[in-house]
Structures are given as C-alpha cells and as structure tokens.
Amino acid sequence: MTITEPTTSLPSHQRAAVRQGTGPTSTTTISTIPVERPGPGQILVKITWTGLCGSDKGLLHDEWAGFGVSMRPEAKGIAGHEGVGRVVAVGEGMEKRWKIGDRAGIKWIASVCGECEFCLTGTGEVNCINQKNSGFTMPGTFQEYCLADGRYASRIPYGVSDEEAGPMMCGGLTVYVACKRSNVKAGQWIVLPGAGGGLGHLAIQFARAMGMRIIAIDSGEEKRELCQRLGAEVFIDFQQTPDVAAEVMKGPLLPKDIK
C-alpha cells in the first residue's frame, strides 16, 4: 500500500475532544489519541477550523436516544462535521485527486456506498442506507487529524477562508439543496421561514445568488435588518402578523407568480 505523506513526519499522537460517559451528564475532555494513517481511498486532513453544530450537542448528550439515534461506538466519542483543513497524507488510489497541502472540507455525510438503490437511481444519496456520518458512525472533526473518504471530501477554494467554508459543510449544503430542489427560477419569489437564523441567513444568500426574489419570515428588528441587508426584498415579522400565509399571498406577488 502506498501512502503519500509530507516530508515532515506526522506525529504519532494528537489531541481530540472525546466524549466521556453517556446521556445528559456526559462530558467532553481533551484526550491524547493515536493519529491514524489513511487507507486506500482515504486522505488525512489536519483540521484548522471546525464548527459546533446543534446536532453535535444532541449526539454528545444522547438527546435523540428516545428515537433510537445515538453516537455509534465506531465514532470513538469524537463528534464534529463542519471541518476544514489541509491534506497531510494521501492513501492509495487518491494520488490523482488529492495532493499534500490541498484544502479539504469534511461534511456530515462522510461517504456513501454508490451501490444501493438510492445511490443508483438518483433519488438522493442523502438516503444511502450504507452512508457513513462524521461524528456519528465514524470519528468527526473534533480532533487535530481526521481521516476522510477522498471521494467525498470537499475541495475548498483558496479564496474562501476556513471560517466561511466550515459552515458550508452543514448548514450551507442543507439550504443550497433546498433552494435547488424548490424549482423556483430566477426572478420568481421564494419564501424563507426562519430567515434570520443559522440556516436561514445562508439560504437568503444562496437564493439571491440563484436570482430568486426573497420573502423573509422571522421576528424582531435585528433579524429584519440582517435579512434585508443580505438581500430579502420583503420581511414579515411573524409575531406581529396574525396570518402569515395570507400576508405572503397578498404581498408583492403578482398573479403570474402564484399560478
């Protein structure tokens, strides 16, 4: 097996935030763990930035255990799925795709099988029954060095900062896909509930980049200012609007827009 590594040897151990215990009283401590080498089809990424998603907290504290969703033992207690870093080792078969020093992003969906019905029919690899998830079924980005599937890691452009790229690995992808699948075309209106929130403010920016006209729904002057600054033409404050749906329909829409 061939592994391409930097001229400076990789450390044998690293720091990682590892869950201790289970349930709502579990804690996360900084521990020293081995640095794994990439196998065939994998790359090793030195994490330079990672976000903390609400779902990380849910998994770390078993908040979804009642629904049968708990962090798997294979994750080794390491959460995180909004990671950005640089490639420091390349496993066999990935030499043409990745080079040492390339910037890479690690997402919630770490890999898919490419062989199940969902993957093959195009109904959505997000439904892949064999998918692996960062921080859920495999160690996530709350560590200094993180293994990633070289086929599924995201290439990060050099003009985008770590801080900008990290949230794209989770919330950004979520709202991008939602805008894309909405079938709203450039020049048509799209309604974004919760537009001033973590996902919503990203949705405004994607929708605007796609040429959509935006009706933002949220509450408060701070959210109004944010939504309008990002490109929303209309803001509806749901706390001051008895019938939000009626307000949307009577607002700026023309008959051709609501056929």
Asked if 106 contacts 146 with a C-beta cutoff of 8 angstroms, the reply is yes
Residue 254 has pLDDT above 90, yes or no: no
Asked if residue 143 and residue 20 are part of one domain, the reply reads: yes
The pLDDT score that the predictor gives to residue 253 is 54
Q: How many domains does the chain have?
A: 2
Residue 125 has pLDDT above 90, yes or no: no
DSSP strand pairing (109-111 vs 103-106): unpaired
Segment 162-167 mean pLDDT: 95
DSSP 3-state of 48: strand
Segment 154-169 mean pLDDT: 95
Confidence of residue 6 (pLDDT cuts 50, 70, 90): low
Element (H, E) at 34: strand 27-34
The pLDDT score that the predictor gives to residue 257 is 47
Confidence of residue 168 (pLDDT cuts 50, 70, 90): very high
Range of the domain at 100: 13-158
Asked if residue 149 and residue 66 are part of one domain, the reply reads: yes
Quick: pLDDT tens for 83-116.
999 999 999 999 999 999 999 999 999 999 989 9
Quick: pLDDT tens for 196-209.
999 999 999 999 99
Asked if residue 146 and residue 38 are part of one domain, the reply reads: yes
170 domain residue, yes or no: no
Q: What is the 3-state secondary structure (H, E, C) of 130-186?
A: CCEEECCCECCCCECEEEEECCCCEECCCCCCHHHHHHHHHHHHHHHHHHHHCCCCC
Q: Rounded to whole angstroms, how far apart are CA atoms 147 and 134?
A: 10
Asked if residue 144 and residue 215 are part of one domain, the reply reads: no
The pLDDT score that the predictor gives to residue 258 is 42
Using the structure block, give the residue that is written with the tokens 């504290």. 61
The pLDDT score that the predictor gives to residue 251 is 62
Helix runs in 42-106, H state only = 54-60
CA dihedral 75, 77, 80, 81 (to 10 degrees): 10
CA-to-CA separations, 227 to 20, 173, 195, 203, 238, in angstroms, rounded: 40, 19, 7, 10, 14
Q: What is the CATH number of the domain that holds 252?
A: 3.40.50.720
The pLDDT score that the predictor gives to residue 3 is 60
Q: Percentage of the chain surpassing pLDDT 90?
A: 84
